A = this chain, B = another copy of it.
Amino acid sequence: MILSIIDLVGTFFFAISGVLVALNKRLDPFGILIIAFVTAIGGGTLRDVIIGRTPVGWMYDLKYIYVIFLAVLIGVIFRKKLDTLRTSFLLFDTMGLSVFTMTGVGIGIHTGLHPMICIALGTMSACFGGVIRDILCNEIPVIFRKEIYATACILGGCIYFASMQVFTDEVSYIISIGVIVTVRLLAVRYKLKLPTFS
């Protein structure tokens, strides 16, 4: 199943982003491992806990654990080269973001929740791993400060429900993924930010 592969790819790149932040803070190897772990599975864990899907998903699916170990290994070994690969990473990270959002939305629908709550759930799944990462590293979470990030997820979620009025599930899914990826990439490319208030 292609979705499950993208999901693992997203996990991998989320874990890598954890490794980068942890290296930056000069954490030791287990610190790095834990930060990679929470970045990759934190959002989904929070989602599962608040809707009562326990034990949470990764506890029964070791693939995620292996992928995170792999990400830590690669991240640590190639830490000096990761900067030059920034563009490819952005692409994969963004694909992870979009897939995680839509997985969360899907689980929300399956739990029988209102569309608005489903969108919140999807955004949480996609964004809160990074939020927990930043909290553990004692930073104000980056998604609250920079770039269009959660905004892309929320937008994608809205478009999904709108699109379902017209198209099939699969088509709506692909449209939403496309919207999230496009919005996020355009935002990074043109350094778009939401305005702040003075």
A79 and B59 CA atoms in complex are apart in Å by 41
Q: Are B27 and A144 in contact (CB under 8 A)?
A: yes
Interface positions, chain A 135-180, Cβ under 8 Å from B, are 135-141, 143-145, 150-151, 154
A35 and B194 CA atoms in complex are apart in Å by 16
> How far does the Cβ of A54 sit from chain B's closest Cβ, in whole Å?
3
User: Chain B residues with Cβ under 8 A from A144's Cβ?
Assistant: 22, 25, 27-28, 30-31, 34-35, 136
Q: Are B50 and A196 in contact (CB under 8 A)?
A: no
- Taking a contact as CB atoms closer than 8 A, the residue among B48, B79, B113 that contacts A197 in the complex is B79
Interface size on A, residues (CB 8 A): 52
Each complex incorporates copies of this chain amounting to 3
A65-B117, A136-B131, A196-B28 given; A59·B50 CB < 8 A: yes
A62 within 8 A of B: yes
A114 within 8 A of B: yes
- Taking a contact as CB atoms closer than 8 A, the residue among B56, B58, B195 that contacts A28 in the complex is B195
Residues of A within 8 A of B (CB): 22-23, 25-31, 34-35, 45, 48-52, 54-56, 58-60, 62, 65, 76, 79, 111, 113-114, 116-117, 120, 131, 135-141, 143-145, 150-151, 154, 193-197
